[in-house]
Structure 1
Amino acid sequence: MRITRIRAVTTIRAEVAREAGVALQTLYPSSPGGKPALAKLVYDITLAGDARPVPRSDRPEVQSILDEPDPARKLARYAAMATAILRRVQPVHRVLRAAAAASPTDAGLQEVLADIERERLKGSQGPAHHLHALGALRPDLTPARAADQIYVLTSTTITATR
């Protein structure tokens, strides 16, 4: 267990340092909030695809989904965007889960993972309510149930293919 914990912690540190182009020793002292804050920052930047402070709802790919009048094409655009996001974020999420599993007493990493899931659940409600407002959901499908389905389909534990 100790070796697994060291590997997971070392892996996340080394990967972040390599991607940032900085020395490993400079990461945590320069990150207010320590390891959990750094882990969340890396995840958020990976999720967005860049470090620009632009809300997800204001990004061009989301605007193109909102502007698309045809529900089927709207869903196709959403699926393409969600797949691209999952491909980017799955490796980071995998490292975070491994680090959290290797450090079960590190409440900070456990909370980061819980926050990510809460944000995903909340984020799945937007598309569901948007489709409902357009009358594009089946009559028997409530926005809450549609959000639950979106949440499950966009899970980081489901492997994206193709």
Structure 2
Amino acid sequence: MAVKRRYESSYRQEQARRTRRAILDAAAVLFVTPGYAATPLTAVAASAGVAIQTVYKTFGTKQALLSALVDVTVAGDDEPVALAGRQFVADIRALPDARSKLARYARHLAETHARLAQMMLALATAATADPDAAAIWQKNADERRAGMTMFAADLAATGELRPDRTRDAVVDVLWLAMDVRNYDWLVRQRGWPVERFEQWYVDTVAAAVLTPR
């Protein structure tokens, strides 16, 4: 009986994960077109093939669904692993010099933007008129700045930052350079190869915050 209960529990958990994923996938499409404000949760439920009550049970509110969607899209998965525990952060910290760290982050940034650019641009548009979307956009902006504050500290530990740049100034540059709108303009609209975008990121940030070679 114990084995059967474990099997049933495992099956229910897997079924819940699949349901959650289906709802997130549906929201990822509909929150871009026709857009967050124009998409009722009933439309998300219909697209995901679940009852509206299931959407409410899983996420509670439309804003919570949007927040979860942003978090999962940024992370690339729904594993409960904090930013500091992600592999790319460990990779960056293990590198010996600032330009190598910037190059590793540029690769992570390009991979992330390829996954989330369309949704984040739609969120930015929605945030101009919808308070829920504006709150999620601000939350993401705060998290990005916190991440860049951590990155700035790692770069500072190399001893390669320009002495005339304050820590806040370095964070500002990193925060600006990582903005998804840079990727959208250069890669998605201007057609830059991803490798050229990554090199642009490294060269731009290095010129602004690192001591000259």
TM-score of Structure 1 vs Structure 2, range by shorter chain: 0.7 to 0.9
Per the alignment, residue 16 of structure 2 pairs with none
2: CA distance between counterparts of 1:48 and 1:108?
A: 21
| SS of the residue 1:29 aligns to | helix
Give the helix-richer structure, 1 or 2.
2
- Tell me if the contact between 1:45 and 1:51 (Cα under 8 Å) persists in the aligned partners: yes
Alignment length, in residue pairs?
152
The offset of 1:157, in angstroms, is 2.1
1:126 match: 150
Unaligned runs of 5+ in 2: 1-32, 188-192, 194-213
Q: Which amino acid is 1:73 matched to?
A: S
Under a length normalisation based on structure 2, what TM-score does the superposition of the two structures give?
A: 0.62
Measured after TM superposition, the shift of residue 72 of structure 1 is: 1.8
Which of residues 122, 130, 155 is equivalent to 1:95?
122
Query: 1:124–1:17: structure 2 CA closer, same or farther, 3 Å change rule?
Result: farther
SS of alignment partner, residue 82 of structure 1: helix
Q: 1:123, CA displacement in angstroms? A: 1.4
Query: Quick one: structure 1 residues 115 and 12, their matched pair in 2 at CA, closer, same or farther if it must change by over 3 Å?
Result: farther
Query: Could you report, residue by residue, the CA deviation over 1:21-51 in whole angstroms, capped at 9, with x for unpaired residues?
Result: 4448456423444111111100100100111
TM-superposed deviation, 1:12: 8.7
1:54–1:95 distance in 2 versus 1, CA, 3 Å: same
1:74 aligns to 2:101 (yes or no): yes
Higher-RCO chain (CA-CA 8 Å, sequence separation at least 6) = 1
Structure having the higher Rg: 2
Q: 1:49 aligns with which of 65, 76, 82?
A: 76
Once the 2 structures are TM-superposed, how far is the Cα of residue 11 of structure 1 from its aligned partner?
Answer: 5.7
CA contact (8 A) 1:11 1:95 kept: no
Task: Tell me how far apart the structure 2 counterparts of residues 24 and 95 of structure 1 sit (CA, whole Å).
Answer: 26
Q: Mark the CA change 1:23 to 1:74 in structure 2 (over 3 Å): closer, same or farther.
A: same
Structure 1 gap segments, 5+ residues each: 1-5
Note closer, same or farther for the CA distance 1:34–1:82 as it changes in structure 2 (3 Å cut): same
TM-score, normalised by the number of residues in structure 1: 0.79
> Match of 1:34?
61
2:108 is equivalent to residue 84 of structure 1: no
Aligned counterpart, 2:169: 145
